[in-house]
Amino acid sequence: MLAVVSLITADLHFNALQTTRAVLAAAATPVYWIADLPSRLGEWSETHVQSRSQLLEENARLRRENLVLQGRSHQMASLQAENVRLRALLNSSALLRDDVLVAELIGVSPDPMRHQLVLNKGEQDGVFVGQPLIDADGLLGQIVEVSSISSRAMLITDATHSIPVQVNRNGVRAIAEGTGVLGTLEVHHVAATTDIREGDLLVTSGLGGRFPVGYPVAVVSEVERDPGQPFARILARPSAALDRSRHVLLVFTAGHGRES
Amino acid sequence: MAEQEPHGYWTIAATFLVAYVLAVLPLPHWLIWARPEWLALVLIYWTIALPHRVGMVTGLLLGLGLDVLEGAVMGQNAFALVVVASLCQVLYQRLRVFSLWQQAGMVFVLVGINQLVCQWVQNLEGVGRQSLTFLLPAFSSAVLWPVVLHFLRELRRHYRVT
């Protein structure tokens, strides 16, 4: 009993068990892999058991999409070049494009209060603790635990997670905290007179140095100004598909290059 | 006596492994709050059936495994399962003669205690649930107890685990 209590204290207050945890987590990965088999099978049958006409149709659609995206990426290249030139004129450091790694979800936390994902990439792939995680629509969260072959990510809606953000429209800075409810963030300590409205896009501000600047985080969904309270009560809806993404992107920021 | 020699380690270990997999199996959204505590159920069964082999130490090790799997604080589930196993060690003679539904009632209490301990530790960490929904798994576990009991009993008899 005493051993258990000291174990809990050690983990809660001193973070002393990181390496033990990493080793054990690597051993536990197969369990997640097996638990994930049914959905993997479902996905496999969805992609392999398809009629020819469906495949042809999809192929044609993807071709069209590819063409459009290619066109856009050419445009993007010229815009980027222009951006770098303008930045050079402004004498600020050039924005480096971040390197990304695609990871696949192999499990979600069984406890509904703990918004965590298990990913199939680990230390071997260069994943590190604190690494930001995004999907096509916005920021998902960050890595909190890495073992050699898998890693565990905490979503931005977890009750213990906070992220520095700024309003895209006017640059007002704030902290968005998770609420433990999927699909709701709460923006804390914003003065009642601050210019922030429903529909405002919150992006990462890059303060704190953990998340790169400019990834969309959430859209303000509710602003409540009570004259009796010093701060406004602001709720926001995450932009990323927190409960639907199966493939996610791990971002390697400028400071943390990917050693190959 | 040669026949009394304990065997069937692998059977017991296999049931615990299956319980681990079930414990992290992705569930639909409406079910996730009532996920049965599979590991606790299997541990309760083996402690009642073989109190001389499965007990608090097993509970401790299994709980640590579950902590790693869930990403919980190290010791949360270990603490809870040690408590459950020790209660089963005390109560096994009574539990064995109970009728099925009386047993299910006791399972509700035992898993409820398991949940309560987990809830305490989670509140220390700051991620506890705000309502009584943390007792839902105890309810679903009690409902599933007859199935688990029947299945594990058949398994134990088939492989003659003593």
Q: For B91-105, how does the pLDDT look when each residue is reduced to its tens digit (9 = 90+)? A: 999 999 999 989 999
Is A5–B35 a contact, with Cβ atoms under 8 angstroms apart? no
From the number of C-beta atoms within 10 Å of its C-beta (0-12, 13-18, 19+), residue A60 rates as exposed
Mean pLDDT, range B44-52, rounded to an integer: 93
Helix (H) or strand (E) holding A232: strand A231-238
Whole-number pLDDT of residue B84: 94
Radius of gyration of chain A (CA): 21
Residue A178 φ then ψ, to 5°: -70, 155
B16 domain-assigned: yes
Task: Tell me the C-alpha distance between B114 and B106, whole Å.
Answer: 12
The answer to whether B140 touches B32, Cβ cutoff 8 Å, is no
Whole-number pLDDT of residue A259: 46
Mean pLDDT, range A153-164, rounded to an integer: 91
Residue A117 φ then ψ, to 5°: -120, 150
Q: List the Cα angle A225/A230/A232 in 5-degree steps.
A: 30
> Which of A98-102, A230-234, B67-71, B155-159 is predicted with the least confidence, judged by mean pLDDT?
A98-102
Closest residue on chain B to A37 (Cα): B25
Radius of gyration of chain B (CA): 15
Closest partner CB to B71 (pick from A39, A114, A180): A114
Query: Which residue from A128, A67, A61 is spatially nearest to A101, judged by alpha carbons?
Result: A128
Using DSSP, state whether A214 is helix, strand or coil. Answer: coil
Closest partner CB to A160 (pick from B29, B60, B126): B126
- For the cut 80, the answer to whether the pLDDT of residue A88 exceeds it is no
In chain A, what are the domain boundaries?
50-90, 162-238
Whole-number pLDDT of residue B58: 92
Closest residue on chain A to B115 (Cα): A111
In which band, very low, low, confident or very high, does the pLDDT at B142 lie, cut at 50, 70 and 90?
A: very high
Task: Tell me the C-alpha distance between B128 and B122, whole Å.
Answer: 5
For chain B, percent of residues with pLDDT exceeding 90: 57
> Which of A10-24, A63-77, A140-154 is predicted with the least confidence, judged by mean pLDDT?
A10-24
In which band, very low, low, confident or very high, does the pLDDT at A174 lie, cut at 50, 70 and 90?
A: very high
Mean pLDDT of chain A: 84
Task: Tell me the C-alpha distance between A193 and B102, whole Å.
Answer: 61
Hey, what amino acid is at A85?
Answer: R
Looking from the CA of A88 toward its CB, the CA atoms found within 13 Å total 6
Quick check: A31 contacting B, CB < 8 Å?
A: yes
Q: Which residue has the higher pLDDT, A94 or B39?
A: B39
Closest residue on chain A to B31 (Cα): A112
Quick check: A46 contacting B, CB < 8 Å?
A: no
- Counting the structural domains of chain B, the total is 1
Quick check: A28 contacting B, CB < 8 Å?
A: yes
Is A10–B33 a contact, with Cβ atoms under 8 angstroms apart? no
Whole-number pLDDT of residue B145: 94
Measure Cα distances from A79 to A5, A74, A178, B16 in Å. 58, 9, 35, 58
Mean pLDDT, range B134-156, rounded to an integer: 93
Residues 183-242 of A with CB under 8 A from B: none
Closest residue on chain A to B27 (Cα): A110
In which band, very low, low, confident or very high, does the pLDDT at A260 lie, cut at 50, 70 and 90?
A: very low
Chain A hits for B14, CB-CB cut-off 8 Å, are none
| Pure H helices in chain A | 2-9, 18-35, 37-48, 52-90
For chain B, percent of residues with pLDDT exceeding 70: 96
- For the cut 60, the answer to whether the pLDDT of residue B1 exceeds it is no
Closest partner CB to B32 (pick from A7, A112, A158): A112
Q: Which residue has the higher pLDDT, A245 or A221?
A: A221
In which band, very low, low, confident or very high, does the pLDDT at B63 lie, cut at 50, 70 and 90?
A: very high
Closest partner CB to A109 (pick from B17, B21, B71): B71
B1 domain-assigned: no
Quick check: A12 contacting B, CB < 8 Å?
A: yes
- In the CATH hierarchy, which fold is given to the domain comprising A162-238? Thrombin, subunit H (2.40.10)
Domain range enclosing B27: 9-159
Q: State the CB neighbour count (10 A cutoff) for residue A194.
A: 18
Quick check: A2 contacting B, CB < 8 Å?
A: no
Is A114–B74 a contact, with Cβ atoms under 8 angstroms apart? no
Closest residue on chain A to B29 (Cα): A112
Q: Which residue has the higher pLDDT, A88 or A49?
A: A49
B3 domain-assigned: no
In the A/B pair of chains, how many CB contacts fall below 8 A?
91
Query: Which residue from B11, B118, B15, B100 is spatially nearest to B63, judged by alpha carbons?
Result: B118
Whole-number pLDDT of residue B68: 87
Quick check: A158 contacting B, CB < 8 Å?
A: yes
> Which of A36-45, A85-94, A108-117, A141-150 is predicted with the least confidence, judged by mean pLDDT?
A85-94
Is A31–B17 a contact, with Cβ atoms under 8 angstroms apart? yes
Q: Which residue has the higher pLDDT, B43 or A54?
A: B43
Whole-number pLDDT of residue A97: 55
Tally DSSP H helices, then E strands, for chain B: 6, 0
Burial string for A98-123 (b: 16+ CB within 10 Å, else e) reads eeebebebbbbbbbbbbbbbbbbbbb
- For the cut 90, the answer to whether the pLDDT of residue A210 exceeds it is no
From B121's Cα to the closest Cα of chain A, the distance in A is 8
pTM score of the predicted model: 0.76
Mean pLDDT, range A43-61, rounded to an integer: 83
Whole-number pLDDT of residue B2: 44
> Which of A104-113, A119-128, A227-236, B91-100 is predicted with the least confidence, judged by mean pLDDT?
A104-113
Mean pLDDT, range B118-131, rounded to an integer: 81
Closest partner CB to A12 (pick from B32, B71, B124): B124
The answer to whether A220 touches A199, Cβ cutoff 8 Å, is yes
Is A31–B72 a contact, with Cβ atoms under 8 angstroms apart? no
In which band, very low, low, confident or very high, does the pLDDT at A226 lie, cut at 50, 70 and 90?
A: confident
Whole-number pLDDT of residue A22: 81
The answer to whether B125 touches A12, Cβ cutoff 8 Å, is yes
